[in-house]
Structure formats: structure tokens, C-alpha cells
């Protein structure tokens, strides 16, 4: 998430009412999660296990719960609760705006686009030319949709990220200030849910086709001309490269990459990153030939046991 203007380190510290380390005029340009940070961004960290990752990331401002040595060229914001204060920043720079109409007056809708009854189009949404949005689709604020996109009934674009911190009193949600970006010529089936990024974009690449009842988690990036079949669940921060095929009921863990032109067969659990150009099956995931060979061998176990038992009986 980039701010509309540059802020100073002191201005951000004053907003959070926290101590800072660094030049008070140090430039702050935005805030982002660890996997998408750039120079000028704030990143938060609240566990010693991840201090080094945050301090050595591309982010130049680290919101942290302990005063540590500050790397050269960076600044620190010292907070007793970085998670809470990251939410404060999201609320300040990207507050929730309620709507009182079905299609916001700030939405931009391209020529030839059809929006069927009972759909919702939020604030700041941009929809390209010649799209077809079927009934009961919910398009949350700031979603970007390209040209020639078809979205079927009941789909939700831009729901919050499934991202929580466990507290003694329950779960505290990390607020989502990101977007969903749907590129040209994408098709999305009925009853799909595509969550917005925490601070960045959840992106569906040009020409990708998504079947009914598919879930795409926050900050996931899906490449061009992918095919994703029904009841697939894709976790947050996943990278799916171009021309990947995911068949029905595939599930993935977060933070992994599926390589270009990979094919993942139905009901596979993608438990790790996999290279492109191969076919995969099973949980944990492996190349389909190996997985099917193992399944065939397992079926032979009763026959092998019978032979062993017969040999023992002869002795």
C-alpha cells in the first residue's frame, strides 16, 4: 500500500505515539507485508524468530517490539504491539467506507459492460469494457477488473484476508487494505471467493479461467492462461505461474510457488513449491508417476503377505 504522499518518520511515530530510531525526517512512502515490501515501506515484526528477516528485507522502516541495532539506511518504530499499530496505520490510510447504493458513484465502468441485478460495486472500483457481471456478485472497494471479463453469480471479489493473531481473549484480525486485480479475458465461475491483499494485490492473470466454488487467498498471484477447476482452495501468498492447470479439490499451503505449465491432478495437497512442466498428484505432493506407482505397490501388499504366510506354513 503506497501513501498518497511521503510522510516523515516523526509524523508516523506521532500517529502511533511510539518511539523511533533514525532521522526524524526519514522518508516513509507506504506500508506492506514482508513478501511485497519495497524501499520506503513499513514492515511489522513482533517475534524474535522473524527479526532478521524483517530487518534485512527491502523495507526501510521496521515496526518492531524491541529496540535492536538499526541497519544502515533504515529506521525503526518501537511499539509494544506492532500488530495493533500496523492495523492503526491501515485504518488511518485506508479506512473502511460504507456504501448506501448498489453501484458506487466513484466506480468507473467501461463501455459495453453489463451488470445484472442485485450485484454490488464498491467505492473506487474500475471495470473495463465488454464485461459481464452476473447477478449477486459482490465487488468490494478498489477492485480492478480488465476488459472482456465474465463473473458468474454469487462470486465475491475483495473479502478480507484470513490473517489473525491469537490473543488470550481470542483472535485479532489483521486489517486488509489491499486490492483484487483481475486482468483482461478472465472467466470466474459461480460462488468463487477471491480475497484482497493485506496491503498489496491479489492478482488473476490475463486469460485465466476459474471454475465454480474456488477460493483464492490474500496476496496470491495467478499467472496467465491458467485453468483452475472446482472446489480448489489456494492459500495466501501463493505464486502460480503461467499456464498452470489445477484440477478439482486441489488444496495448497501458503507461500509456495507452482511452476509454469505444471499440472496438478485432483485432490492433491500442494505442500511445497513444485517446478513447472510436470504432472503432480497426492498428499504430500509428488510427481504423479511416482505417486501412482506407490499406490499400485500398496495394492500388492495383501498378495505379498499371503505368499509370506504360505511359506511360513510350509516350514
Residue 314 clears pLDDT 70, i.e. is over it:
no
- Quickly count: other Cβ atoms within 10 Å of residue 31's Cβ: 26
Mean pLDDT of 110-122: 98
Mind listing the pLDDT tens digit for each residue in 46-70? 999 999 999 999 999 999 999 999 9
Query: Which sequence positions are flagged as catalytic?
Result: 218
| Mean pLDDT score of the chain | 94
Residue 103 clears pLDDT 80, i.e. is over it:
yes
| DSSP designation for 271 | -
Mean pLDDT of 227-249: 98
Q: What are the grid coordinates assigned to 183, written together?
A: 486482468
Return d(Cα 138, Cα 102) in angstroms, integer. Answer: 9
Roughly what angle, to the nearest 10 degrees, separates helices 9-16 and 82-93?
110
Residue 141 clears pLDDT 90, i.e. is over it:
yes
Q: Are 234 and 210 in contact (CB under 8 A)?
A: no
Dihedral, CA of residue 119, residue 124, residue 129 and residue 132, to nearest 10 = -10
Q: Are 48 and 34 in contact (CB under 8 A)?
A: no
Return d(Cα 182, Cα 205) in angstroms, integer. Answer: 7
Q: What are the grid coordinates assigned to 27, written together?
A: 522518508
Mind listing the pLDDT tens digit for each residue in 67-102? 999 999 999 999 999 999 999 999 999 999 999 999
pTM, two decimals, is 0.90
Q: What is the pLDDT of residue 35?
A: 86
Residue 152 clears pLDDT 90, i.e. is over it:
yes
Q: How confident is the model at residue 291 (pLDDT cuts 50, 70, 90)?
A: confident
Return d(Cα 176, Cα 160) in angstroms, integer. Answer: 6
Q: Are 21 and 76 in contact (CB under 8 A)?
A: yes
Q: How confident is the model at residue 313 (pLDDT cuts 50, 70, 90)?
A: low
CA distances from 69 to 64, 83, 185, 200 (A): 11, 21, 49, 28
Q: What is the pLDDT of residue 312?
A: 66
Residue 315 clears pLDDT 70, i.e. is over it:
no
Return d(Cα 236, Cα 241) in angstroms, integer. Answer: 15
Return d(Cα 302, Cα 3) in angstroms, integer. Answer: 65
CA distances from 240 to 67, 214, 216, 220 (A): 38, 15, 11, 8
- Distance in angstroms between the alpha carbons of the first and the last residue of the chain: 76
Mean pLDDT of 277-306: 83
296 contact partners, CB below 8 Å, separation of at least 6: none
Q: What is the pLDDT of residue 181?
A: 98
Q: What are the grid coordinates assigned to 244, written together?
A: 498452470
Q: What share of the chain is helix, strand, coil (3-state, %, to 5)?
A: 20, 30, 50
Residue 224 clears pLDDT 90, i.e. is over it:
yes
108 contact partners, CB below 8 Å, separation of at least 6: 125, 126, 127
- Counting every residue written for the chain, the total comes to 315
Q: Nearest-CA neighbor of 257 among 220, 301, 309, 206?
A: 220
Amino acid at each position: 500500500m503506497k501513501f498518497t504522499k511521503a510522510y516523515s518518520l516523526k509524523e508516523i511515530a506521532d500517529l502511533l505515539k511510539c518511539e523511533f530510531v533514525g532521522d526524524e525526517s526519514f522518508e516513509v512512502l507506504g506500508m506492506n507485508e514482508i513478501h511485497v515490501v519495497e524501499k520506503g515501506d513499513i514492515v511489522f515484526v513482533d517475534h524474535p524468530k522473524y527479526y532478521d528477516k524483517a530487518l534485512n528485507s527491502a523495507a526501510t522502516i521496521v515496526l518492531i517490539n524491541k529496540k535492536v541495532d538499526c541497519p544502515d539506511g533504515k529506521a525503526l518504530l518501537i511499539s509494544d504491539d506492532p500488530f495493533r499499530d500496523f492495523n492503526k496505520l491501515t485504518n488511518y490510510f485506508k479506512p473502511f467506507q460504507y456504501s448506501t447504493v448498489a453501484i458506487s458513484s466513484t466506480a468507473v465502468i467501461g463501455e459495453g459492460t453489463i451488470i445484472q441485478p442485485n450485484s454490488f460495486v464498491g467505492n473506487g472500483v474500475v471495470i473495463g469494457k465488454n464485461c459481464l457481471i452476473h447477478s449477486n456478485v459482490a465487488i468490494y472497494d478498489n477492485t480492478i477488473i480488465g476488459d472482456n471479463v465474465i463473473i458468474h453469480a454469487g462470486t465475491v471479489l475483495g473479502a478480507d484476508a484470513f490473517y489473525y493473531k491469537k490473543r488470550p481473549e481470542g483472535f485479532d484480525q489483521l486489517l486488509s487494505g489491499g486490492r483484487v486485480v483481475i486482468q483482461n479475458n478472465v472467466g470466474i465461475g459461480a460462488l468463487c471467493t477471491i480475497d484482497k491483499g493485506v496491503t498489496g494485490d491479489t492478482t488473476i492473470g490475463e486469460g485465466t479461467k476459474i471454475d465454480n466454488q474456488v477460493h483464492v487467498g490474500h496476496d496470491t498471484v495467478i499467472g496467465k492462461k491458467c485453468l483452475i477447476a472446482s472446489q480448489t482452495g489456494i492459500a495466501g501468498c501463493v505464486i502460480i505461474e503461467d499456464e498452470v492447470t489445477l484440477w478439482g479439490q486441489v488444496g495448497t499451503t501458503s507461500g509456495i510457488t507452482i511452476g509454469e505449465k505444471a499440472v496438478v491432478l485432483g485432490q492433491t495437497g500442494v505442500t511445497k513449491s513444485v517446478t513447472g512442466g510436470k504432472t503432480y498428484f497426492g498428499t504430500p505432493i509428488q510427481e504423479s508417476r511416482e505417486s501412482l506407482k506407490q499406490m499400485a505397490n500398496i495394492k500388492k501388499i495383501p498378495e505379498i503377505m499371503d505368499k509370506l504366510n504360505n511359506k511360513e506354513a510350509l516350514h
